[in-house]
Amino acid sequence: MSEFASLGRRDGRKAYEIRGFRCELGYLERADGSCRLEQGKTQVVAGVYGPLEARGRNELPDKTFVDVSIRPCQGYAADYLRLRERELKEIFVATIAAELQPRSCVSLVIQIIENDGSLKAAMINACMLSLLSAGIPCNWIASSCTVSYHSKDTFLLDPTLVEELEGHATAVISYGFEGPKPVPSHNLIGLSCSGFVSSKDIYFSSLSYSQEACKKVYEFIQLVTKRSQTIDGEQLSGIDH
C-alpha cells in the first residue's frame, strides 16, 4: 500500500481501522426503541415507532410496511436525503421479518446531529440498534461500513468527511449476520457505490476488509443489546434464572 498504509491517517488511524463507537440506547422517551450513536464525530439519533396500525395506502395485506424518514441538522430534507431514505428502506424491508405482522407499519425516524463522514453507515447501524431495542422481529442483524477509494491502489475504511471528499469513490457496504457464534454466516444486503472504482482487485479486496469491519460493528451491536437487557450480570427478564 502507498502513503496511507505507511504514514497513517490524519486522526492516527490505520487505513483499515474503523473509528470508535459510542451508543446510548433508549435515548428517546416516547419511541418504542431508540438510540443515539456516535461513530467518531458523526452522530445520529434513530427512533423506531411500531408496529403501529397502518392506514390508507400504507396498509399492505401480507406484510409490514416500513417507513423511513431522515431529518437533517437544519432545513428541509434535501433530495439526496430522499435517496438515502429509499436506500435505507430497501435494506430494512429485507431485514425486518415483515410477514409476521401484516397490515402493520414500522416507522424509522433518523435525526442527523453531526456529519463527519460515513453518515449512511452510521444511520444503518443506529436503525438496527433501535429495531433491536424495540423488539421488532428481524431476519438478521444488519451492520454497515463505508469504504472510500483513493489513489489507484488505496482505500480507507470508515472515512471522515474530509477523506470522503478527497477520495474519488465511496461505497457503503452492508452485511446481514446470522449467528450464533463462533462463526456467524453473513450475506451482502446492501451496496451503494458513488464514483468510479479503479480496478476489480481493489474492489474485491475492499469488500473483504469491509466485511471484517462490519463484523466488528455486529459484535458491538450484540454487546450493547445484551447489556441493555442485563443488570449487574443478572438477567433483566428473569432474575431467578
Partner 1 sequence: MISKFDDVFVFPGDKLFKLENGDNIRIGQGILKKGDCLVAVKPGYLHKDGNKVWVETAQKRYIPAVGDLVIGVVVDRSSEFYQVDVGGFSTALLPLLAFEGATKRNRPHLSVGSAVYARVVSVDRDSEPQLSCLLPGTQHSWVTGETVFGELKQGNLIHCSISLCRNILLGRNTVFTELGKYIPFEQATGMNGRIWVRSQSAGHVVLLSNLIICSENMTNDQLSGMIRSLVSKMTTQMSPTR
183 touching partner 1, by CB under 8 A = no
- Kindly tell me which residue out of 47, 51, 159, 190 binds partner 1, with binding defined by CB under 8 A: 51
Stretch that binds partner 1, among 16-24, 78-86, 137-145, 160-168 (CB under 8 A): 137-145
Say whether residue 56 binds partner 1 (CB under 8 A): no
Peptide bond into 72 cis (omega under 30): no
Which lies closer to partner 1 via its Cβ, residue 79 or residue 232? 232
Cis ω on the peptide bond leading into residue 51 (within 30° of 0)?
A: yes
Q: Does 101 bind partner 1 (CB under 8 A)?
A: yes
Asked if residues 207 and 199 have their Cβ atoms less than 8 Å apart, the reply is no
Find the shortest distance in angstroms from Cβ 166 to partner 1.
36
Cα distances (angstroms) measured from residue 159 to each of 31, 196, 229: 30, 17, 32
d(CA 217, CA 122): 10
Binding of partner 1 at residue 241 (CB under 8 A)? yes
Q: Name the segment binding partner 1 (CB under 8 A); options: 75-83, 119-127, 129-137, 149-157.
A: 129-137
236 binds partner 1 (CB under 8 A): yes
167, 17 contact by CB (below 8 A):
no
Q: Is 1 an interacting residue with respect to partner 1 (CB under 8 A)?
A: no
159 binds partner 1 (CB under 8 A): no
The answer to whether residue 176 forms part of the interface with partner 1 (CB under 8 A) is yes
Q: Say if strands 65-71 and 104-114 run parallel, antiparallel, or are unpaired.
A: parallel
Cβ partners under 8 Å of residue 92, min gap 6? 66, 68, 108, 127, 131, 142
C-alpha span between 59 and 101 (Å, rounded)? 11
Nearer to partner 1, 140 or 149 (CB): 140
Q: Which stretch binds partner 1 (CB under 8 A): 86-94, 156-164, 189-197, 227-235?
A: 227-235
Is 12 among the residues that bind partner 1 (CB under 8 A)? no
Q: Is 228 near partner 1 (CB under 8 A)?
A: yes
